[in-house]
Amino acid sequence: MTAIAPIAWGSGYVVTRHLLPADAPLWGGVLRALPAGLVVLLLARRLPQGSWWWRSLVLGTLNVGGFFVLVYVAGQRLPSSLAATLMSASAACMLLFAWLLLHRRPRLAAAVGAAVGLAGVVVMLGFDAGGADVWGVVASLGAMVASSVGFVLTSRWGADVPALPMTAWQLLGGSIVLLPVAVLIEGAPPALTAPSALGFAYLTLVATALAYVAWFSGLRRLSPGVVGVVGLLNPVTGVVLGVLVAGEAFGVPQAIGVALVLSGIMLGAAQPRPAERSAIAPPVAQSRT
């Protein structure tokens, strides 16, 4: 079930780049998150209680509001294969924040894997520096960091919250934060054409509502490292669709970079052997505050 999310997110880069308006990232985030949140809330039929009112705003800003805007910018400015590959480093990033926020110290393999993945990104960008939009790269990396923090906090705080209400609360929380910003900066929402309406419908129902329910279901049952490995389907999907559907160039340097990134993250997020488990911190559910 968890694999549905990164596959849908990987396809979202192609949809954003080729179907959605290029100059409305804030409204793009609202139009993607708000309808999806309302649909999922109707299914969940459960409102936040207590601390979950402010937690929903915090997690919604990290995982939805800020994340959707930055991904929108990256999807418009970068080839789908490059944007998805940059986001693939999120597995190593999640391991790092799990160490900082959950006190789960990464093993040596995790540190080596992160270094290999970073080398892959450097190789990929170094050979194609002229074709990489700087702001697109910054937006992609910013989205990776924001979502990594948000997903680790979701794993820490939300072990007892089912996936449906967790999804609804974060989507609506992110929409509440993002909507006034969109109105102030971008004014009225963009006029939709038939292609853009179709693109938003896909992003809302498949790449948001369905994907986030699947992803948060995985975060309740799996460690951040395992979820990060499943997330490798994101760059794989983005690269395949970018090449096959959008006709994007993909040569030997890019292949080497992608291989290094994926190899590094697989190494860093690999589960320890049974003999090593005693050195790992207790499960997230036992370390919540």
HEC per residue, 185-207: HHCCCCCCCHHHHHHHHHHHHHH
Domain encompassing residue 219: 4-271
pLDDT at 50: 92
The parts of the chain modelled with pLDDT lower than 70 are 81, 102-107, 109-111, 114, 118, 121-122, 124-132, 224-226, 228-229, 246, 265, 268-289
Residue 281 lies in a domain: no
Has residue 282 been placed in a domain? Answer: no
At 31 the pLDDT is 93
- Count Cα atoms within 13 angstroms, Cβ side, for 167: 32
Question: % helix / strand / coil in the chain, to the nearest 5?
Answer: 80, 0, 20
- pTM, two decimal places: 0.78
Q: Does some domain include residue 284?
A: no
279 found inside a domain: no
- Tokens read off for 178: 């993002």
> Which pLDDT value is given to residue 287?
41
User: Residues 17, 263, 233, 6: is their CA dihedral positive or negative?
Assistant: negative
At 225 the pLDDT is: 64
Confidence (pLDDT) at 236 = 74
Q: Is residue 184 part of a domain?
A: yes
Say if 286 falls within a structural domain: no
215 in a structural domain: yes
How high is the pLDDT of residue 222? 76
Distance of CA 28 to the CA centre of its chain: 16
So what's the pLDDT on residue 286?
43
pLDDT computed for residue 32 by the predictor = 92
- Identify whether 106 is part of a domain: yes
Q: What is the DSSP letter of 20?
A: S
Pairs from 271-279 (Cβ < 8 Å, separation ≥ 24): 271/223, 271/225, 271/226, 272/107, 276/107, 279/107
User: What pLDDT is attached to residue 52?
Assistant: 94
Domain total for the chain?
Answer: 1
